[in-house]
């Protein structure tokens, strides 16, 4: 059943049975593929990259407004970054239907916090950990929610940024990007936050976000020249946009 590991990475253990494949001797297989639930597990309507990073007093997440259907630019004005509450923002890529499914429960949590009226609100770390558990649970049931979600915000006044994928793999970092953003935008962001000569304030962070979205639009064929930027700092959380990419095709002559 779990013998079908792909070969794209080197095996962790050599000269032994694969995990879970120990008793599957030929012709005495304990489980046939027909016993398993057959599920098509691939994203259909997808969002592309999300880019996010911390600046001195907060966090910024940005993503374009496109949802693709394969290579078709299917929905061109859909939000992929959201304000959850005053100190939590999220950005999402991957299967959008799966995200809408999970967003319903996040909204429910926010409403619940409001109804309790005790000045306690969902903090980014709590949402991050909760998503980790939900997505891991779904992957264990072989029915993954195929989303790449970035959670940002202020955790007791300190900037927080984390990423969870469809398997429940989670990590925190000062700069996070998904999809093509990982290849194209992350090096630009890391350059700015690691070799900093001047502190990265809110204004510079938004500028950096904008230049990353411009680069992404030029090179990612499934991107769109319209995007939104969510920021969260001491002044609260907000989503700005839609912003249009300041396109400059003059430089195309030099490429």
Partner 1 sequence: MLSIEDFPEYQIPGAKQVRFNPYESNGGSVVAIAGDDYAIIAADTRLSSGYSIHTRHQDKSFKLSEKTVLASTGCWCDTLSLASLIKARMQMYEHLHNKKMSTTAVAQMLSILMYNRRFFPYYVSNVLAGIDENGEGVVYSYDPIGHCERKKYSAGGTAGPLLQPVLDSQVGLKNQVGVERSPIPMERAKAIIRDTLISAAERDIYTGDGVIFNIITKDGIKQERIDLRKD
Structural tokens at position 156: 């007791």
Of 141 and 238, the one with the shorter C-beta distance to partner 1 is: 141
Q: What share of the chain is helix, strand, coil (3-state, %, to 5)?
A: 30, 30, 40
Q: Which whole-number Å values give the CA distances from 178 to 43, 51, 94, 232, in the listed order?
A: 15, 7, 9, 19
Q: How far is the CB of 67 from partner 1 (least distance, A)?
A: 21
Of 6 and 203, the one with the shorter C-beta distance to partner 1 is: 6
**Contact residues for partner 1, defined by CB under 8 A:** 1-2, 4-6, 8-10, 12-14, 19-20, 22, 33-34, 38-39, 41-42, 132, 136, 139-140, 142, 144, 163, 167-173, 182-183
Q: How far is the CB of 115 from partner 1 (least distance, A)?
A: 29
Of 34 and 104, the one with the shorter C-beta distance to partner 1 is: 34
Q: DSSP per residue over 198-248, as a string?
A: S---HHHHHHHHHHHHHHHHHH-TT--SEEEEEEEETTEEEEEEEEE----
Q: How far is the CB of 142 from partner 1 (least distance, A)?
A: 6
Query: Do 82 and 232 form a contact (C-beta atoms < 8 A)?
Result: no
**Cα distance between residue 92 and residue 81, in whole Å:** 7
Of 124 and 144, the one with the shorter C-beta distance to partner 1 is: 144
Of 166 and 228, the one with the shorter C-beta distance to partner 1 is: 166
Total Cβ atoms within 10 A of residue 80: 26
Query: Do 41 and 201 form a contact (C-beta atoms < 8 A)?
Result: no
**Cα distance between residue 175 and residue 172, in whole Å:** 9
**Cα distance between residue 48 and residue 66, in whole Å:** 8
Q: How far is the CB of 225 from partner 1 (least distance, A)?
A: 26
Q: How far is the CB of 168 from partner 1 (least distance, A)?
A: 4
Q: How far is the CB of 227 from partner 1 (least distance, A)?
A: 22
Of 151 and 243, the one with the shorter C-beta distance to partner 1 is: 151
Of 22 and 249, the one with the shorter C-beta distance to partner 1 is: 22
**Cα distance between residue 86 and residue 233, in whole Å:** 9
Q: How far is the CB of 111 from partner 1 (least distance, A)?
A: 27
């Amino acid at each position: 059943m779990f013998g079908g590991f792909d070969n794209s990475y080197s095996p962790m253990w050599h000269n032994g049975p694969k995990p879970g494949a120990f008793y599957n001797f030929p012709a005495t297989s304990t489980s046939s593929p027909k016993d398993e639930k057959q599920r098509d597990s691939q994203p259909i309507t997808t969002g592309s990259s999300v880019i996010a990073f911390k600046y001195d007093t907060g966090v910024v997440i940005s993503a374009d407004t496109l949802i693709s259907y394969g290579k078709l630019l299917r929905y061109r004005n859909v939000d992929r970054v959201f304000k959850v509450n005053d100190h939590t923002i999220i950005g999402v890529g991957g299967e959008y239907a799966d995200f809408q499914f999970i967003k319903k429960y996040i909204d429910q949590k926010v409403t619940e916090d409001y109804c309790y009226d005790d000045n306690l609100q969902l903090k980014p770390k709590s949402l991050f950990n909760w998503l980790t558990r939900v997505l891991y649970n779904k992957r264990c049931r072989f029915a993954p929610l195929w989303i790449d979600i970035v959670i940002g915000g202020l955790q007791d006044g300190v900037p927080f940024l984390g990423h969870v994928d469809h398997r429940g793999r989670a990590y925190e970092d000062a700069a996070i990007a998904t999809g093509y953003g990982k290849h194209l935008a992350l090096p630009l962001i890391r350059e700015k936050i690691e070799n900093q000569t001047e502190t990265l304030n809110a204004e510079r962070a938004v500028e950096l976000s904008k230049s990353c979205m411009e680069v992404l639009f030029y090179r990612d064929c499934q991107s769109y020249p319209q995007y939104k930027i969510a920021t969260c700092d001491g002044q609260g959380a907000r989503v700005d946009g839609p912003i249009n990419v300041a396109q400059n095709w003059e430089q195309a002559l030099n490429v």
